[in-house]
């Protein structure tokens, strides 16, 4: 069957369910991650990429067609995927530039590129050796989001040494836990992995990082790794207090989390992108203006206060009137990111 995505056409074998068992993997929900990936690559002016887990080739082909990348190394361990990558390069009339195709375990690839996009099933941690294959930029997908959000908190501890429980702001917690993990993994090989962009979408997280050398850079990144304290009774979140000032009970310490800036670049929407991708781009452009490592999830505040949720527009208007910054967040339909303290939000709810 032929699928259209972005500016590409892709042939894949017929399938019934999206699963790892597909003869060649393709998930339409990942098109959001791929839209954003081509935009990040364009913004960073990247010229060559290693796509070590290519499946149908859709990702590398879209990089070629939609950014300035003219050199793509496609690889997949699955020999059927290799046949389809070749067919799809032809289908998209890709003849110029430098195209390499290999059928290896990704960890056996020796070449180094300016940019690598690691896109495995589940956790990418077993593939972090591939950080060595990039000279500058790294994009990475993790699909084990239930682990990072704390829904599978025992696995989070076992797999990542991450202490987490499910909170109303679970995806931001997940992404910040993942970024801290990646920074620490980079530090193990004495590299600074500096976050440039990150987002959550459906079943996956995507993180973009700049790889640099230098102890000062690594120390600076590590100094931005810390904890958030969370009250499971009233959902209060704090960067410093370990006892909830409202409930007087000990709060749960979540982390390690990266508490610094997640977004260093702003992206442009494209008219042919998925609507959902453009919405994420727009929301991140807005929320990145507010320097706060968590947001407020309005339904959980209403639940704690046993009140109804006031309209989001009204809350945002009121916060602006009071001189605070406030924006919506891409992490949740019901969340706001603001520099206002919790008691102000509570007052607005009560009034
Ligand atoms: N990047 C693709 C896309 O955007 O559609 C999807 C990649 S899919 C999630 C993961 C791919 O990794 C599968 O095609 C699988 O065959 C391949 N794979 C699994 N283990 C691998 C390994 N050790 N080395 C290289 N490829 C591997």
Q: Is 103 in the pocket of ligand 1 (CB under 6 A)?
A: no
- Taking the centre of ligand 1 as the mean of its atom positions, its distance from the CA of residue 194, in whole angstroms, is 25
For position 16, what pLDDT does the model report? 80
Q: How far apart are the first and last CA of the chain?
A: 57
The closest residue, in CA terms, to atom 14 on ligand 1 is: 55
Q: Is 81 in the pocket of ligand 1 (CB under 6 A)?
A: yes
Q: Is 76 in the pocket of ligand 1 (CB under 6 A)?
A: yes
Q: Kindly provide the ipTM of the predicted complex, given to two decimals.
A: 0.99
Write phi, then psi, for 207 (nearest 5 degrees).
-130, 135
Q: Which atom of ligand 1 is nearest to the CA of 56?
A: 5
The closest residue, in CA terms, to atom 10 on ligand 1 is: 120
Tell the burial category of 101 from Cβ atoms under 10 Å away from its Cβ (0-12, 13-18, 19+). Answer: middle
- Which residue carries 């527009």 as its tokens? 313
Tens-binned pLDDT, residue by residue, of the chain (351 aa): 999 999 999 999 988 888 898 999 999 999 999 999 999 999 999 999 999 999 999 999 999 999 999 999 999 999 999 999 999 999 999 988 899 999 999 999 999 999 999 999 999 999 999 999 999 999 999 999 999 999 999 999 999 999 999 999 999 999 999 999 999 999 999 999 999 999 999 999 999 999 999 999 999 999 999 999 999 999 999 999 999 999 999 999 999 999 999 999 999 999 999 999 999 999 999 999 999 999 999 999 999 999 999 999 999 999 999 999 999 999 999 999 999 999 999 999 988
Q: Is 30 in the pocket of ligand 1 (CB under 6 A)?
A: yes
Q: Is 54 in the pocket of ligand 1 (CB under 6 A)?
A: yes
Q: Is 25 in the pocket of ligand 1 (CB under 6 A)?
A: yes
Domains and CATH numbers, the chain: 2-287 (3.40.50.150), 296-350 (3.30.56.70)
Tell the burial category of 3 from Cβ atoms under 10 Å away from its Cβ (0-12, 13-18, 19+). Answer: middle
Question: Which tokens go with 150?
Answer: 């704390």
The closest residue, in CA terms, to atom 6 on ligand 1 is: 55
For position 32, what pLDDT does the model report? 98
Question: Does residue 153 sit in helix, strand or coil?
Answer: helix
- Taking the centre of ligand 1 as the mean of its atom positions, its distance from the CA of residue 77, in whole angstroms, is 7
Cα–Cα distance measured from residue 347 to residue 18, given in angstroms and rounded to the nearest whole number: 46
Helix (H) or strand (E) holding 304: helix 298-305
The closest residue, in CA terms, to atom 4 on ligand 1 is: 59
């Amino acid at each position: 069957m032929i699928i259209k995505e972005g500016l590409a056409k892709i042939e894949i074998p017929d399938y019934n369910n999206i699963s790892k068992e597909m003869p060649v993997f393709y998930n339409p929900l990942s098109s959001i991650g791929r839209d954003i990936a081509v935009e990040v690559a364009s913004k960073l002016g990247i010229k060559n990429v290693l796509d070590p887990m290519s499946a149908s080739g859709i990702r590398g082909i879209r990089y070629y067609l939609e950014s300035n990348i003219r050199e793509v190394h496609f690889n997949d361990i699955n020999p059927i995927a290799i046949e389809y990558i070749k067919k799809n390069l032809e289908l998209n009339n890709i003849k110029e530039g430098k195209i390499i195709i290999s059928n290896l375990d990704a960890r056996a690839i020796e070449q180094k590129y300016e940019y690598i996009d690691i896109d495995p099933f589940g956790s990418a941690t077993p593939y972090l050796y591939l950080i060595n294959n990039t000279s500058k930029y790294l994009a990475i997908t993790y699909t084990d989001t239930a682990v990072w959000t704390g829904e599978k908190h025992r696995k989070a501890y076992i797999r990542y040494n991450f202490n987490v429980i499910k909170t109303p702001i679970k995806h931001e917690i997940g992404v910040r836990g993942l970024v801290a993990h990646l920074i620490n993994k980079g530090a193990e090989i004495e590299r600074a992995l500096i976050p440039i962009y990150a987002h959550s979408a459906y079943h996956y997280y995507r993180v973009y990082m700049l790889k640099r050398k230098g102890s000062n850079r690594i120390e600076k990144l590590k100094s931005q790794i810390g904890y958030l304290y969370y009250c499971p009774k009233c959902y209060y979140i704090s960067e410093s207090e370990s006892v909830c000032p409202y409930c007087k009970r000990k709060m749960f310490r979540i982390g390690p989390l990266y508490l610094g800036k997640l977004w260093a670049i702003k992206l442009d929407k494209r008219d042919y992108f998925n609507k959902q991708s453009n919405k994420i781009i727009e929301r991140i452009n807005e929320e990145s203006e507010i320097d706060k490592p968590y947001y407020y999830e309005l339904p959980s505040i209403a639940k704690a206060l046993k009140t109804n949720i006031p309209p989001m527009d009204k809350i945002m208007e009121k916060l602006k009137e009071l001189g605070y910054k406030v924006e919506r967040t891409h992490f949740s339909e019901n969340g706001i990111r603001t520099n206002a303290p919790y008691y102000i939000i509570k007052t607005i709810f009560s009034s």
